[in-house]
Amino acid sequence: MKAPTLTDVARHAGVSYATADRVINGRGKVAQKSTAKVLQAIEDLGYVRNVAAANLSQSRVYRFAFVLPKGVNAFIQKMRALVSEMSARLAADRITAHLYEVDRFVPGALAKVLEQVRADGHDGVALVASGLADAVPALEALRAEGMVVLTLVSDLPETARAHYVGIDNRAAGRTAARMIGLAHPDGRLGRALPVVAGLEAQDHSDRFEGFCETMAQQFPHVAIAREIEVQDRPDLMERHVAEALDHAPDITAIYNTGGGKSGLVRCLARLPANRPRPVVVAHDLVPSSREGLLRGLFDVVLDQRPDEEVARALSIMRRASDKLPVPPVEPIVPAIYVRENLPPVRQAQQA
């Protein structure tokens, strides 16, 4: 009924508590014989170390850092809100989550932030490393010191991080292609316009590649127009997409890998009534894309579920800093929103 304690194990093995402890925590200085006996007792009794008690005895608190890019990007704002929300909820478990911001465009800013994270004595750090490839050495150093490093949203080389928490961006691009293909049944001809923030960001280029791959393979009857880059800027989005639609009246689909969506909404809303609306697939459920769906301007929104990302990041950092085995981290499966399955808008809850 009651779980066996280490004291039980020691008794069962006929050794002292301390010896049993030395065995399970591998602090050496134990005779072969004792080790064997303890191991056997653990086996017999089915002993499992009580993490809560261990933490209590050390007054252990978990300190985790989230590093997010500065800026007004709606998706990142949502992540920020989620982190502080989670943070409040985890107080009872002695887990703290601190938020750090890094300016993507100031060289060396990230290094400084990471230094701060280190100085603040965190057990783990999760960072959105989109366009931050130069962080690799600093992260390797942090990891060498025992800190748990996670990438969020956009991945980095394996040496830089213990796990990646986020969607499979290539697969997301392929999925978008499939959705657009669905809307071109029976070989109906068409042309798809890809709109990206910038191809230097790993996540965007992965999505773009996956998209092209599936379009070409599965839906050759739908051509791919030259992609447009809009740098997270709604104004550019609005202008460039409008131009593209003007020049190529045969465009039947748009795939936006993310960024500047509000401009897309405006542009689509302004389309002449007699022009058939293109199928529109975009990324991330934020106010503008929600509006797009509700107004019938967007058809499908792929969302990487930031809430799940934050929750998973926390749970992984916790397990990892307990040195427990971390179960294989599979990519997060994006949610696919259409007009009919939008979740209710949820106000941030107060403290």
Partner DNA sequence: TTGTACGCGTTATCAT
Partner DNA sequence: ATGATAACGCGTACAA
Q: Interface with a copy of itself by CB under 8 A: which residues?
A: 2-3, 48-53, 55-56, 59, 61, 89, 91-94, 168, 171-172, 174-175, 177-179, 182-186, 188, 210, 214, 276, 279, 299-300, 305, 322, 324, 327-328, 330-331, 333-341, 343-344, 346, 349
| Residue 33 binding DNA, by CB under 7 A | yes
For 33, 253, 317, 336, the CA distances from 297, given in Å and listed in that order, are: 73, 11, 40, 16
CB 269 within 8 A of CB 298: no
For DNA, which stretch binds (CB under 7 A), given 15-23, 95-103, 191-199, 216-224?
A: 15-23
Beta bridge partners of 190: 222
Tell me which of 56, 182, 216, 324 binds DNA, using CB under 7 A. 56
CB 97 within 8 A of CB 62: no
| Residue 40 binding DNA, by CB under 7 A | no
Tell me which of 5, 77, 96, 315 binds DNA, using CB under 7 A. 5
CB of 178 to a copy of itself, least distance (A): 4
DSSP annotation of 332: B
**If you compute the radius of gyration of the chain from its CA atoms, what whole number of angstroms results?**
25
CB 321 within 8 A of CB 62: yes
Give the integer Cα–Cα distance in Å for 277 and 273: 9
| Residue 57 binding DNA, by CB under 7 A | yes
DSSP annotation of 130: T
CB of 90 to DNA, least distance (A): 15
| Residue 58 binding DNA, by CB under 7 A | yes
CB 128 within 8 A of CB 89: no
CB of 33 to DNA, least distance (A): 6
Tell me which of 40, 43, 50, 217 binds DNA, using CB under 7 A. 50
Any residues with CB less than 8 A from the CB of 110 and at least 6 apart, and which? 67, 102, 132, 134, 135, 138
- Binding letters toward DNA, positions 70-89, x by CB under 7 A: --------------------
Residues that bind DNA (CB under 7 A): 2-3, 5-7, 15-19, 21-22, 24-25, 29-31, 33-34, 47, 49-50, 53-54, 56-59
